[in-house]
């Protein structure tokens, strides 16, 4: 990513580099070597290092009030790699993967890296994916002789919409998946960045509590709660699914992903720095979200937006005469960027929508970015 001079980049869903926990990670790295010596540099356990798995299991038990044992967890190289591993090992030719629509566009890229899969979009509104629409698509897939295999979704502080799936739909979705033998891949990357009270329960926790633990693989990541450069995350899922992934050749060859980084992060978490860090990020990003929404009210009163309760993004709907793919050039000329809505759809959609990220800048800069966007819109 390169910052253009005098330009406000509201397209990048990335953390502000000034907020990254450089010193605490430096300390944690030294602590990891002190605590575990040469084990930090050797091959690691297939599922990931014990200290990190133990810490994560304890945290999930406290924060999600859900029992979890270490064989239900695998340390991943981040959510992107976790998704890719699931697609590699748990799909086959003739399978359909359903995709919440709109969705995170890099997930679409990862899905398309598996050309044996048919992708079927399922619409989502302000309360998340439409479960009845998924039910219809599953029937259509079966009628076409295909196997409905997986659903990829971001039910909590969604990218791009900022929304969270409603509690009723969470349960209905899990029940549908359990009845249809569908595996839900729950991308839970923004869970820790909640700004208005606790994050909703994960689909994984709901499924476990209803005896349907086999139908959700939840992907958690340290990318947003700590730092994206770590390339580190975790998966919670049924023991046989975890064992299958841990047994893959790529892990069998050398142990879990990013072993050294996982040991450093284990020390960071054990030191109590994780909780401090997310508390700081929540407070900082909440102020940035609020500044962005206030600026939208001031400078873009003709647009509608969904108020996000967490994450990095606000999803804006412009008046009908504005095609956001064409607005990019005008915005560029004013010195601000955004992602046009069409990018988040596998087919048609998003013509009048756009995504703004509020993670990268302090409140005053965000307000200025929205003001510039307002000027760009007036010139259309």
Ligand X SMILES: Cc1ncc(COP(=O)(O)O)c(C=O)c1O
Enumerate binding residues for ligand X (CB under 6 A).
13, 78-80, 104, 154, 159, 187, 189, 221, 223, 228, 233
**Which of 47/159 has CB closer to ligand X?**
159
**Which of 159/194 has CB closer to ligand X?**
159
Q: How far is the CB of 110 from ligand X (least distance, A)?
A: 9
Within 181-311, residue ranges assigned H as helices are: 203-209, 239-246, 249-252, 259-270, 273-299
Using alpha carbons only, give the angle 175, 180, 184 rounded to the nearest 5 degrees. Answer: 65
**Which of 189/295 has CB closer to ligand X?**
189
**Which of 223/314 has CB closer to ligand X?**
223
In whole angstroms, what is the distance from residue 218 CA to residue 369 CA?
34
Q: What 3 state SS string does 111-178 have?
A: HHCCCCCEEEEEEEECCEECHHHHHHHHHHHHHCCCEEEEEEECCCCCCCCCCCCCHHHHHHHHHHHH
Q: How far is the CB of 218 from ligand X (least distance, A)?
A: 12
Can you tell me whether residue 107 is helix, strand or coil? helix
**CA trace torsion 124, 204, 265, 250 (10° rounding):** -90
H or E stretch covering 334? helix 324-334
**Which of 29/159 has CB closer to ligand X?**
159
Q: How far is the CB of 107 from ligand X (least distance, A)?
A: 6
Using alpha carbons only, give the angle 10, 15, 19 rounded to the nearest 5 degrees. Answer: 125
Q: How far is the CB of 142 from ligand X (least distance, A)?
A: 28
Q: How far is the CB of 234 from ligand X (least distance, A)?
A: 10
In whole angstroms, what is the distance from residue 124 CA to residue 103 CA?
9
Q: How far is the CB of 81 from ligand X (least distance, A)?
A: 6
In whole angstroms, what is the distance from residue 268 CA to residue 263 CA?
9
Q: How far is the CB of 91 from ligand X (least distance, A)?
A: 18
Q: How far is the CB of 78 from ligand X (least distance, A)?
A: 3
**Which of 44/78 has CB closer to ligand X?**
78
H or E stretch covering 222? none
Total residues belonging to the chain: 380
**Which of 221/334 has CB closer to ligand X?**
221
Distance of CA 357 to the CA centre of its chain: 14
**Which of 16/368 has CB closer to ligand X?**
16
């Amino acid at each position: 990513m390169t910052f253009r001079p005098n330009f406000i980049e509201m397209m990048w869903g990335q953390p502000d580099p000034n907020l990254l926990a450089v010193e605490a990670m430096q300390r944690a790295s030294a602590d990891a070597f002190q605590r575990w010596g040469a084990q930090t540099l050797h091959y690691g356990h297939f599922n990931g290092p014990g200290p990190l798995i133990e810490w994560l299991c304890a945290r999930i038990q406290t924060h999600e009030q859900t029992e979890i044992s270490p064989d239900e967890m695998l340390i991943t190289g981040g959510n992107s790699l976790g998704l890719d591993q699931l697609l590699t090992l748990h799909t086959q030719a003739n399978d359909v993967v359903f995709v919440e629509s709109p969705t995170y566009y890099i997930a679409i890229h990862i899905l398309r890296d598996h050309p044996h899969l048919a992708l079927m979009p399922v619409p989502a509104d302000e309360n998340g994916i439409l479960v009845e629409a998924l039910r219809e698509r599953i029937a259509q897939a079966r009628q076409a002789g295909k196997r409905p295999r997986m659903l990829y979704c971001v039910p909590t502080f969604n990218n791009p919409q900022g929304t969270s799936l409603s509690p009723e739909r969470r349960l209905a979705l899990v029940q549908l998946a359990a009845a249809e033998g569908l595996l839900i891949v729950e991308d839970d990357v923004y869970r820790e960045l909640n700004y208005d009270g606790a994050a909703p329960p994960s689909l994984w926790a709901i499924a476990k509590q209803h005896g349907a633990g086999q139908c959700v693989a939840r992907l958690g990541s340290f990318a947003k709660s700590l730092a994206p450069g770590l390339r580190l995350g975790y998966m919670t899922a049924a023991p046989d699914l975890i064992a299958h992934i841990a047994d893959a050749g790529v892990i069998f060859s050398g142990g879990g992903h990013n072993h050294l980084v996982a040991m450093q992060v284990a020390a960071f978490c054990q030191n109590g720095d994780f909780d401090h860090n997310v508390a700081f990020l929540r407070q900082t990003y909440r102020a940035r979200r609020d500044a962005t929404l206030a600026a939208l009210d001031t400078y873009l009163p003709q647009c509608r937006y969904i108020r996000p309760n967490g994450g990095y993004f606000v999803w804006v709907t412009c008046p009908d005469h504005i095609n956001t793919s064409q607005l990019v050039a005008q915005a560029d000329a004013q010195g601000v960027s955004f992602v046009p809505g069409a990018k988040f759809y596998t087919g048609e959609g998003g013509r009048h929508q756009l995504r703004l990220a509020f993670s990268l800048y302090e409140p005053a800069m965000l307000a200025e970015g929205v003001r510039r966007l307002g000027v760009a819109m007036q010139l259309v």
